[in-house]
Structure 1
Amino acid sequence: MKFKSKSLISIILSIMMVISMILVAIPANAAVVDSEPVGAGTYYLWYTIGDNTNYSSFTKKVEMTADGSNYVASFEDSSLYPNTTIVCYINTDSSTITTGLNTLKTSTKGTYDDTYFHWLNVGGNYQQSGYYYIKSQVKSSFKVKITYNPTGDTIDLSKDDGSTPTEPTTEPTTTEPTTTEPVETTVPPTTAPVTTPGEYTITDATTDLNGSLSFSASGGTAAGTANSGDTVTITGNPVKTYFELDTVTVTGEDKNNIEVSGTSNTRTFTMPEQNVTVKATFKLNKPAYIQSLKEDGLWIDVAPDEYDTTATLIKWNNYKGSNQERNNPYTFYVPKNVDLSNAHIYNGFNSAVKLNGTEIPSKNTAVVKLTAGSTYSSENDNSYTVKVMQGSTNAMFLYTTKAGVASPLPTKKGAGASKGDVVRDGGVCKTMTNETAKASFSSAMALESVKGRGNSSWQASNEFFGKYAFNMKLAKKTNLFNIDTTKLPDGSKASGSKSYCLLANNADESMLRNALTYQLASEIGLLYSPEFSFVDIYDNGEYLGQYLVTEKVDIGSSKLIKGNSFEDINEDAVKEVTKNPEATIDKTTTKTTYSYTYANNKTYTPDMRYANVAPNGATSDKNKYPYDNTETRPAKQGKYLLEFEISDRVNDEPCYFVSPQGQNVVIKSPEYATKEQVEFIANKFAKMEEVAFTANASKTDLSAVMDVESFAKMYLIQEFTANLDAASTSYYITFDCSQTNPVFVANPVWDYDMALGQFEKENYKYTKDGKTLSPAKTDAWLAKYKRMDNSESKAPDKYSIQSQLASQNSAFKTEIRNQWEGTNGFYANIQKYIGDNGLIKKTWFDNINASAEMNEARWGFIANDLLNKANWGVKNTGANHNEAVNYLNTWTATRATWLNTQFTSDEYPVYTPSAPTIKAYAADGTTEISAVEAGSPFIIKVTSDLESGVVYRLYKDGVKVGTDRSDGNFDIATDESMVGSKYTYTVKAVYGGRESSASTGVEITINEKAGNKTVRVYFKSAAASAYVPSFSLDNAAATVMSRTPKTSTDNGTYFGSTYSGSLKFYWFFKDITIDTSVPHTITFTTKNNVNATTSYTFGAATEYYFAVDNLMGDTTLKDLTEMDEYIRNYHISATHMVYSATSDRNIGFTWAKDTEGKYKEYAMGTYLPDNNISTASLTDLTSSSLLTIPSALTPNAMLEASSAPSFFTIKSATLAQKITAEAEEVSTLQYQLLDVNLDGKVDIKDSTMMQKALAGF
């Protein structure tokens, strides 16, 4: 690996110059040691920098100078980077390299300053073959000082701060005073060379974590600039010696790439006449990395095609348990989807190793065929048993550092009594997902920090487990494993977060309890329920185990709880007030009291603690500090996150308050809250608490201070899971000041690894009356009666808000049943988790089982039953992971059944939903409509208040359509086939399978889509069927219509459409282009003075049919477009009758005046209108109100006369003739219907024509 460097000669010269200057600065008459120190002689310090093992050329040399009984040398080098190795030795030959002095054994390694560097232990000694290994801690802007004591045979390290050598301990032999002038006065000041900027700039756009670039131009211009035509040298500066400069791309402002020469750590290009951007990548030299570790062992490369981090090189491991017990076999813990049939194995031994028949050379690599679940024997100087296990989940690879040096996370108990004891301040993170059969890797991401997390879980890990939970913070926002599925307003995915929790799930033998609870909470509608991913985690090449990765509970635009963070508001305000962008808030806190007065005038003054926040002791000013006035500055309003906490822990938090009822409430965000903020939210909470503890508070009362639905859902989660911490700790609520009428909302859920039957201890989870509760029982209450505080020192005499409402408030009980029993309710959602094919036993078990087995092989938690044996109350749920999951599945199903019996009892009133109110809106959701163009969607929306646990069901013309919706919004599509139709939509509210009455209907008409369109218009005239008509559009000049030649047989084109029957009636037609978005005036004229006009809006059809029945003296234009083709073709014929010879069926109409003098269509032989169709059903005859029906004309009589009673036949027509002649009363309408030949009388001629019509013309 190469670094930015001075030339070797310049380094040596500069070092020698400094040494010579120091020597020159000593006056000639200065004191001289009167005797040589023990081991006298001239010593030389030889050194090289880098992690390589070939030290055959130590060309960097410094002559050591005498300093009392010691010899001293100092050096510095621009190649010193974090975690860089310096290898050095001392000898007595200035010209040749000989074996170094064999000094500095383990017991005599001397002192060192670990702020800057430290000795590196190699092979049990701090030196090897005379070589001394030093690790630098920070990038050097200092000199390394090495002090050699020949007498003690030791070497000490220190930072050379420029002090002079110590004076000898012997008195000087001359009377001349010694000088005390500082030696630096004799060193001439150095002046930086003055360089002129070049014509064009060179910008380093490298984002690779593993190195940076430096540039120099042949023209000698200033750094980062060059003149056109200069040769520019690019030097790669890797952060570690085992990374190498890989790809280099130089791009001009014109977006074209410029040719780059060279393949080593140095590349060149010719500067063009424009500015350029350079981007490079660095590549890991994997064998060099393994060699740099100087450790025996085997590594498997789980990402052989990835070269951006060392984190994916996983070392075999023979550790097991919390004390790192070593035993056979050595195990490769391999993540899912790694191709074991082509496993890339690296050998760190000093001799070759044979594994499964394949020899792996020393300090090198080979591809070996392995199989998951198999055990192998490796052969070299020693024999090892090697086992291969492969996980089944996503994976994450960490390389954690501290002060720039690799610093693995703890993997055994006793890491520290406090979670704050474990902090890593940098490193790399890389993820592997398994969405396909092939693993997909992310790019290496920079870590900002990894810290210990958890309260009791950290304590258990420190005392028993050795596997710890952590909070991880990335340098940039990243959506790890696509955990955050939030959609932004523009529809894009959320950018993710910086902060994530790595949950160890040590106490949960199934490793599923948190996941089950978080997902169930999300499905029942609890906001901001954590999303998660099951992940195998590795750190610095070691398998840590199976974890659940979630977002951290915090507030922010890209964090788990979406909203304006008061944390950010406070920090921004401090910067604004001080006019200093680097200013930080004052985190010192003050404990005091606040005051709250109940409605009965009783005043409480509970404790609170706030942070000073204001910088430099500035006093609070509401006009100056926007974070002090949360109600009157809407632009600065944010969201509070509160957590209920037990008494034993609340004092560990920066800011909190105690409610009048005694509830300890921690302000989690803002963590450092002002006095005004604490007082504000404490009073809001006290008001909610007062209402909740008021006897018989109604839902309306509760809704004024809390989101009742969310509190009921949170209670159900706590009760169903039998959470031992129910409403005493890890219970979160939010209060969003940006809302118009903000109330408290229960969310999110958190920390359920000891719930769902995993905890069985009954000696301190009390009711307020001091009775014990049983968190492991499936048939007993827990959250309903649990007291406020878990702490042993706290008197069990108070309910929390949750248990007060759940056990005492009738309105809240109704809401509980509502949320439990609804169509999308709690009980319905539980069903998908339980059973042999549910999420627990099937989906999730299949997903994590192999990884859980790896976790158990590494840690042995289930086998050792640690917390149960330690009397922590954690239940032994099985002998292995499979049994633990079966226990969880059974417990969950049994618990759900028992609770269903309770929540559907008379104690919990049945909820009946009200009929909703609805409106129709355009697709924008705001414009109310009654019509819409075809092809345009619209929305039916419930506008009344949505009811908890209720879903809404849509009906169109009385028929259920679509899917039930809990939000009451129905998106409806339209198309051209719907044009001209009118639909009535209604909605019903549905709860527990019970429907409310329907809403008032909303009518929507579907219109033709706006735009120009060509259509064909057909026309016929009953009285002038032989005359060619003319057509006029929008009062334009009339044009003659067309008709088929008489020889044509193309019914479809010229007869309107194909039809059955013995008659053919010619249509006249005209093709026109019209705008369908507006109505048009259409006019038909004939030679016999027909002039029929109407205003018409064209729809989706491409053919339209019109006619007039001018035989009756009427010129009203009749639209026949929507009629069936056979009716359309016969209707309004010259004889007013329609008959189908094919079916022997009367299908005709006549055009006559009704009793009101209006023209209407009537089916021949019937007495009432029947919607433009007629089968001449005999039952129609009995419903007439227009004439008295003779007994002979009853349906029975007609049936006797006719063999085809469903319509008129010749026989029935003959009978009708006879009966008509005998009828005593005939209406005007009936007279017109029977006067077939229109001669003004009904006689035998009419009957004959009727017969002919029935028989066929």
Structure 2
Amino acid sequence: MKKALALLLTILLVAGALPFMSAAAAEGKGTPAAFAADKALYVHAVSDSTDAEAWQAWQSVHDEDFNVEKPNEKYFFLPSSAASDTIDVYNGYDQTVTVNGVTIASHTTEAIPYAADTAYTVTADGSSYTLKMMNSNAEAAVYINNPDADGAGTDLMTYLNADKANSAKATGAIVTPDGAIDNTTVKKIKGRGNTSWDKPKKGYNITYDKKVGIAGMEKNKKYSILPNYQDDSLSRNRILYDLSDAVGMPYASDSRYVDFYVNGYYWGSYLMCEKVEPGSLVPEVSDDGYLNEDGTIKEDFPFIAEVDASAGDDDYWVSASNLKITIKSPEIDPGQPGYDEVKEYVKTKFTAFYNATSTTGNLAAVADVESVAKLYLINELGKNWDSGVSSTFFTYKQDENGVYKFYGSPVWDYDNSLGNAVGVSWDLRTIGVTDYEEYTGWWCQHKGKSSASSKRSSNIIARISRNQQIAAIVPQIWFEDFVPALEHFSGEKIDQTIGSELYTKNEYFTMIEDSAEMNYKSGWLLNTGSWIADHSTLKKATYDKDTQKMIVSSTATRYGQNFTDMYNYAADWMLSRAAWLSEQYAPDYTPSNLLGDANLDGEVDIIDATWIMRNDVGIITFSDEEKNVADVDRDGEADVIDATWIMRWSINIETPYAIGKPIR
């Protein structure tokens, strides 16, 4: 692999590797920075820009080992910021080149008119090439450049991909569709992932010198850029992260679809995510939050812990109840104050949490039951293969009463969810699961069992799924938080509040479609091996609220081996899975009262406002239950102010209160 990557720029871009930079350029046009040391044509992300970082070289389609069958067929994989009819092209050859009738002198830049997917003939350095342009619609483009990552002339990606422990500085650019360019320096980039690190399209952690925003995301220094290599929809992580946000889980990572370029080479469509870190994502936790001002260890302090069976020597981890628990924050190096004390503290607290997840355990004493239940439901909905094994995070912090408890969040790593993976056959046989790829059947409660007949498991999510306190509230959370969000996702019932956190399935598709086409055209395969389930057919299901039953289509929907169908399969599988879960939870569901439903008829409308005013003047008298739901502003009184809020809400004027939402 290292050898293949070392040949990447010499084989894929164009023969020869002679340095060539020149200050000469057409007036108002820029030239690539020193990272572009190969003879090639280069295109900039933004027309008429003097920026030196957001350049890409033309390249040929490759296979997953970066071999090229047709080196004389070239592409510009253009970001969403590129104009649809004109691009700035830099000629890195020592001779004049003509593209679509425009002559570009050696080492200068010219504006070139073009039409997407049209082949243009180009003669360069004595060879004839065809050149096509493809356009992305991703939310941003990320460029990172360093031609000398190790100080010995090694290209950045060759160096990083040789060893996950390698890291380097870099220059770069973040470019949004409006053409805005942020050239904040990259303080450090290094590889990330466990099993995914062994794949040819890899993920990375990126730390910028200062906080930067990515297409509207809150500004951060640290990001994870995920390849979604094993997910042919490129969207399972994005959708489930956003769904977690929509159902009210704390610390759901915000993310954006981006196109990723390194040293002028297009690496494909990625997902740029807030990294699971203290600070902006988890503001209650900090790496020095365990210390008093005098340097002593606090009696209690917040932390972020990850259940990670693959934790190794490079991680800061403890063993608690035979689980490997990585301490994500505070992360302390050996020899630093509190190294052993923090490990012991986390072990003690997590062991108590684990014990409380037993079937009859008092989970509420040590955990926020609602967020833990939602974490379980996300894993159950997705049939997440890694559920309770890796990337399962819990945050230990104070609740509203100042009591330290575990919260189920942040969510992370769901590419092996939503019918994507086949799983491990021997593992499935052991736990007695024969329908893992199907949208029917329970999953989490079986994960980690020692045998098919066993009712016990050491898996933390399996234990949570069986806890009586969790089971008691799951039906309400499912129908009152998850179902409305999923109805919005399907497009069945659009909810503006939910829409601020979660898009519809059609909106996600529109945001990623063109970027995905570039990703797969450049060489990444839709079918990435035996680990991926059969996505060719599905009998879709819906849920009938009247009968409380799942209705399965009598005919199967067929899906072709293309991005559109693979995306639709993921969305259809999730919604069908939701129908099955609704049927399972329906018998145990009793609807909660709605905030503002003063007459307890199951609806909030102007009649409820009248009801409150009648109570306020003594015509009727509310029961305690009626008063509780009528008290919209939660000030302890049901009065004309609450009636006014309901009237405003009824004519679609936004209010600061969750009128019409369940009170649990």
Query: TM-score w.r.t. structure 1 length?
Result: 0.42
**CA deviation after TM superposition for structure 1 residue 284, in Å:** 9.9
Change in CA separation of 1:724 and 1:306 when aligned onto 2, cut-off 3 Å: same
User: Out of 213, 222, 247, which is 1:479 matched to?
Assistant: 213
**Deviation (angstroms), 1:829:** 1.2
Q: 1:750 to 1:997 in 2, by over 3 A?
A: closer
Q: CA offsets per residue over residues 510-558 of structure 1, 9 Å max, x none?
A: 01100110010001110000111111111222111111101100112x3
Q: What residue in structure 1 maps to residue 57 of structure 2? A: 315
Equivalent pair of 2:230/2:532 in contact (CA under 8 Å): no
Whole-angstrom CA distance in 1 between matches of 2:80 and 2:506:
18
| Partner Cα separation in structure 1 for residue 161 and residue 641 of structure 2 | 72
Which stretches in structure 1 are left out of the alignment for 5+ residues?
1-121, 127-132, 136-239, 245-282, 485-495, 577-623, 632-636, 914-949, 965-969, 971-977, 1007-1257
Matches within 5 A, 1:858-1007: 858-862=522-526, 865-868=527-530, 872-875=531-534, 878-905=560-587, 909-911=588-590, 913=592, 951-953=594-596, 960=604, 1002-1003=638-639
Bigger proportion of residues as strand: 1
1:511 corresponds to 2:237: no
Tell whether 2:381 aligns with 1:725.
no
Does residue 440 (structure 1) correspond to residue 182 (structure 2)? The answer is no
The superposition leaves residues 263-285 of structure 1 with CA deviations (integer Å, 9 ceiling, x where unpaired) of xxxxxxxxxxxxxxxxxxxx998
**Aligned residues of 1:955 and 1:961 also touching (Cα < 8 A):** no
Is the alpha carbon distance of 1:124 and 1:820 closer, same or farther for their aligned partners in structure 2, counting shifts above 3 Å? Answer: closer
Q: Which has the larger radius of gyration?
A: 1
Matching of residue 667 in structure 1 with residue 409 in structure 2: no
Name the structure 1 match of 2:486. Answer: 830
Aligned to 1:1139: none
Structure 1 contact 318–331 (Cα < 8 Å) conserved: yes
Shift of 1:982: 7.3
Match 1:798 to one of 457, 460, 479? 457
CA contact (8 A) 2:48 2:88 kept: no
Any conservation in 2 of the 1:347–1:360 contact (CA below 8 Å)? yes
Shift of 1:718: 0.3
CA distance in 1, matches of 2:92, 2:100: 17
Is this contact kept in 2: 1:984–1:1003, CA < 8 A? no
Partner of 1:716: helix, strand, or coil? helix
User: By how many angstroms is 1:334 displaced?
Assistant: 0.6
Q: Indicate the structure whose relative CO is greater, using CA pairs within 8 Å and at least 6 residues apart.
A: 2
Aligned to 2:654: none
Alignment identity in percent?
Answer: 24
> Residue type of the partner of 1:777?
E
Displacement after TM superposition at 1:847 (Å): 1.3
Tell me if structure 1 keeps the 8 A contact 2:15–2:39. no
Match of 1:1114 in 2: none
In structure 2, C-alpha distance between the alignment counterparts of 1:875 and 1:508, rounded to whole Å: 12
The corresponding residue for 1:658 is 319
Cα 1:366/1:124, change in 2 over 3 Å: closer
CA change 1:987–1:787 in 2 (3 A) is farther
Residues 850 and 960 of structure 1: CA distance in aligned 2, closer, same or farther (over 3 Å): closer
Matching residue's letter, 2:298:
N
Contact preservation (8 Å) 2:230, 2:416: yes
Is the counterpart of residue 812 in structure 1 residue 431 in structure 2? no
> Counterpart in 2 of 1:760?
422
Change (3 A) 1:453 1:554: same
Matched, 1:642 2:278: no
Question: Which residue type is aligned with residue 520 of structure 2?
Answer: E
- CA–CA separation in structure 2 for the residues paired with 1:385 and 1:1005: 70
What is residue 1009 of structure 1 aligned with on the other side? none
- 1:470-549 matches, cutoff 5 A: 470-484=204-218, 496-549=219-272
- Amino acid in structure 2 at the alignment position of 1:755: S
Aligned to 2:79: 335
Q: What is the RMSD computed on CA atoms of the aligned residues?
A: 4.0
Provide Cα deviations, 1:951-1009, integer angstroms capped at 9, x if missing partner.
Answer: 412659x9956899xxxxx9xxxxxxx9xx9799999999xxx9987669634599xxx
Name the CA shift for 1:855/1:912 in 2 (closer, same or farther; >3 Å).
closer
SS in 2 for 1:842: helix
CA shift, 1:675, in A, is 2.1
CA displacement 1:200-225 (0-9 Å, x = unmatched): xxxxxxxxxxxxxxxxxxxxxxxxxx
Q: What secondary structure, in the 3-state scheme, does the structure 2 residue paired with 1:445 have?
A: coil
Q: For residue 144 of structure 2, what is the aligned residue in structure 1?
A: 398
- The one of 444, 448, 471 aligned to 1:787: 448
Deviations 1:810-829 (A, max 9, x none): 3321211010112xx21221
- Check 1:548–1:983 CA distance in 2 against 1; reply closer, same or farther (3 A cut): farther
Distance of 1:786 and 1:798 partners within structure 2: 7
Give the AA of the match of 2:141: A
Q: Give SS of 1:295's match.
A: coil
DSSP-derived class of the 2:490 partner: coil
Cα displacement (A) at 1:562: 1.4
Map residues 251-290 of structure 1 onto 2, 5 A cutoff.
Answer: 286-287=30-31
Question: Which secondary structure state, in structure 1, belongs to the residue aligned with residue 442 of structure 2?
Answer: coil
C-alpha distance in 2 between matches for 1:817 and 1:357: 66
Pair 963,389 (structure 1): closer, same or farther in 2 beyond 3 Å: farther
Judge conservation of contact 1:785–1:799 (CA < 8 Å) in 2: no
Matches within 5 A, 1:577-596: none
* Number of residue pairs aligned between Structure 1 and Structure 2: 574
SS of equivalent residue, structure 2 residue 157: coil
Secondary structure at the aligned position of 2:53 is classed as coil
Give, as a single letter, the amino acid of the residue that structure 2 aligns with 1:511.
L
Amino acid in structure 2 at the alignment position of 1:745: Y
CA deviation after TM superposition for structure 1 residue 405, in Å:
8.3
Contact 1:762 1:773 in 2 (8 A): no
* Distance in 2 separating the partners of 1:881 and 1:987: 57
Aligned to 2:112: 368
Q: How many Å separate the matches in 1 of 2:153 and 2:457? A: 50
- How far off is 1:123 after superposition? 9.2
Match of 1:43 in 2: none
Which residue in the other structure is 1:847 paired with? 511
Out of 46, 51, 54, the position equivalent to 1:303 is: 46
Between the aligned partners of 2:620 and 2:188, the Cα distance in structure 1 is 57
Equivalent position SS for 1:514? helix
Does the CA-based 8 Å contact 1:719-1:781 persist in structure 2?
Answer: yes
Code of the aligned partner of 1:750: W
SS of 2:211 mapped into structure 1:
strand
Shift of 1:477: 1.5
Structure 1 segment 403-414 matched on structure 2, within 5 A: 408-410=155-157
Task: Tell me the TM-score normalised to structure 2 length.
Answer: 0.77
Aligned to 2:197: 458
| Unmatched tracts of structure 2, length 5 or more | 1-13, 333-337, 495-502, 537-559, 643-664
The 3-state SS of whatever aligns with 1:890 is helix
Aligned position for 2:174 = 431
Q: CA deviation at 1:289?
A: 5.3
Q: Does 1:469 align with 2:203?
A: yes
- Structure richer in helix, relative to its length: 2
Over 3 Å counting, the alpha-carbon distance change for 1:836 and 1:429 in structure 2 is: farther
Does the 8 Å CA contact 2:145/2:156 hold for their aligned counterparts? no
Q: What is the alpha-carbon distance in structure 1 between the residues aligned to residue 259 and residue 23 of structure 2?
A: 26
> Aligned pair in 2 of structure 1 residues 736, 241: CA closer, same or farther (>3 Å)?
farther
- Going from structure 1 to structure 2, the CA distance change for 1:689 and 1:761 (only over 3 Å counts) comes to closer
